[in-house]
Amino acid sequence: METLTVQTQPIEGQKPGTSGLRKKTRVFMEPRFLENFIQSIFTGIGGVAGKTLVLGGDGRYFNDRAAQVILRMAAAQGAVRVIVGQNALLSTPAASNVIRKRKTDGGIIMSASHNPGGPDEDFGVKFNTPNGGPAPEEVTDRIFEATKVIECYDIAVTEDLDLSTVGEIKLGDMVVEVVDPVADYAELMESLFDFDAIAGLLKSGFRIRFDAMHAVTGPYARAILEDRLGAAAGSVINAVPSPDFGGGHPDPNPIWAKDLMREMFRAGAPDFGAASDGDGDRNMILGAGAYVTPSDSLAVLAANAHLAPGYARGLAGVARSMPTSGAVDRVAAARGLDCYETPTGWKFFGNLLDAGRVTLCGEESAGTGSDHVREKDGLWAVLLWLNILAVTGRSVSQMLADHWAEFGRNYYSRHDYEGVDKASAEALMNNLRSQFATLPGRSFAGKTVASADEFAYDDPVDGSHSAGQGIRIGFEGGGRAVFRLSGTGTVGATLRVYLEDVCEDPEAMNRDPQEALADIIAAADAIAGIRERTGRPEPDVRT
């Protein structure tokens, strides 16, 4: 095998964000952009000589080309084996599973997750460590440092490999093992859930609709929900992954999955609805006429997970990202479970899961997962819900009503202002920071500020410190507004405003969240000057 050493130089803007490096696809396709970043990953992890890696992606535009480049670079640099999903496809949770199960040295996942795909949309690359989880900051910092000093990279000069057939191919001394992307994952799901109970539910006439949003979960959902569990053919829709996700935005929320929302809120709706995102780690849960917020979903799952065989022993503890609502905290308090609050991003759960301190964790951004892998897992959340519904015999809306009656309700919504001018967004955040000392005690829209600070996290397992993780304004009575700038966007800045209020009044459990949160929303705007500073009268997305 001929190898080539290519001279290069650092390229600006290769700092990994909340979840790897995400850029416009055309940026990734510029000469040496992908190669520089891959080389920097390899350097950041101490080289790949003698190592076994996993490679997969969500099938978006450029996934196939990028896979060939990554394989050539790994082969030239002495990797012994790369386990790659057929056609270079692996959902993020499936990749996490293979990394763990095969005891590899980590893996590269090609995905920009829920961001749209295509030549004019987004592409991304992230590295997951041998525990199967997204690289922690200490590793991404090393990768970033490497991007700043790179001088050259080695790459094999070969024909493209045929990744369409399961089996082994040699690339020089390296083995490329092409695997069925679904098989190991399906086996793992079967080990966690009572497939007979779920199959029984589906046989009883319980109707489901799973929207794979033209993304990577289609084949997984078809294989598990339809083929193994017996859901009616056609229950999984938009099931064929396409490089541009059918021209859609594969983010499972009420805005981008509106066809499914419409279907679930019409007369005669299916009993259960769900959607997942580009790379299969996010989920949205619906019932007939019911939308479950991700924060509530985490809380309901925490309260009921023991009904599934994989969690029958109970939970070690739970964790949520800081902006996620405190609904799960109420469950933890009632059940005597430890509850951790981490910064945004799945990578912060890894240490807690590895240390056995938590079993379930979740984020308000439609991410829920457990210690079965080290990523959030969309289809897993769907199966856990189905298992719980099968055992309890309740509907989704009954589950929610019962949950709120028992634990109280945290009204919750996130407002996103996308593609905002970066300088204005940063000025808004700085202006908030400058008010920390003076806000407490002042009232806005009838809400009195009780606290104002910026969240920082001290990891209880490795002692690492992460500062600047979101601005929190707490109100008397328990409500709050949180402000963050997204770390996954590719254009300008995305301002996320997370709004929450607590409700214990049994008569007030069924209000529209935007209405229930109206005072908090008004107070957040009065304090931060959102409309004035962003020039936006309304958020682009309300979850």
Active-site residue list: 113
How long a stretch of residues is the chain? Answer: 543
Answer for which of 11, 14, 18, 308 binds ligand G16 (CB under 6 A) is 18
CB of 436 to ligand G16, least distance (A): 22
- Is residue 253 close enough to count as binding ligand G16 by CB under 6 A? no
- Is residue 281 close enough to count as binding ligand G16 by CB under 6 A? yes
Answer for which of 282, 357, 415, 447 binds ligand G16 (CB under 6 A) is 282
- Is residue 346 close enough to count as binding ligand G16 by CB under 6 A? yes
In the chain, count H helices and then E strands.
18, 27
Give whichever of 86 and 488 is closer to ligand G16, judged by the CB atom: 488
Give whichever of 245 and 404 is closer to ligand G16, judged by the CB atom: 245
CB of 18 to ligand G16, least distance (A): 3
Give whichever of 105 and 277 is closer to ligand G16, judged by the CB atom: 277
Candidate ranges 274-282, 401-409, 428-436, 461-469; the one touching ligand G16 (CB under 6 A): 274-282
* Cβ–Cβ under 8 Å, residues 192 and 63: no
Sort strands 52-57 and 107-110 into parallel, antiparallel or unpaired.
parallel
Give whichever of 270 and 326 is closer to ligand G16, judged by the CB atom: 326
- Is residue 295 close enough to count as binding ligand G16 by CB under 6 A? no
Answer for which of 40, 486, 490, 543 binds ligand G16 (CB under 6 A) is 486
- Is residue 181 close enough to count as binding ligand G16 by CB under 6 A? no
CB of 124 to ligand G16, least distance (A): 8
Nearest-angstrom CA–CA distance, 347 and 337: 22
Nearest by Cα to 323 from 364, 290, 383: 364
Nearest-angstrom CA–CA distance, 319 and 331: 11
Nearest-angstrom CA–CA distance, 94 and 320: 22
- Provide DSSP, 45-66: TT--TT-EEEEEE---TTHHHH
- Is residue 344 close enough to count as binding ligand G16 by CB under 6 A? yes
Nearest-angstrom CA–CA distance, 457 and 91: 29
Q: Residues 357-376 vs ligand G16: string with x where CB under 6 A?
A: ------x-x-x---------
Which residues sit opposite 272 in a β-bridge?
Answer: 208, 287
CB of 393 to ligand G16, least distance (A): 32
CB of 530 to ligand G16, least distance (A): 16
In the block, tokens 């957040």 appear at 524
Answer for which of 114, 249, 374, 480 binds ligand G16 (CB under 6 A) is 114
Q: Does the CA dihedral 9-13-17-19 come out positive or negative?
A: negative
CB of 80 to ligand G16, least distance (A): 29
- Provide DSSP, 406-455: HH-EEEEEEEEEEEE-HHHHHHHHHHHHTTTTT-TT-EETTEEEEEEEE-
Q: Residues 303-342 vs ligand G16: string with x where CB under 6 A?
A: ------------------x---------------------
Max CA distance (Å), the chain: 73
- 26 phi and psi angles, rounded to 5 deg: -65, -30
Give whichever of 444 and 483 is closer to ligand G16, judged by the CB atom: 483
Q: Which residues bind ligand G16 (CB under 6 A)?
A: 18-19, 113-114, 277, 281-282, 321, 344-346, 363, 365, 367, 486-488, 496
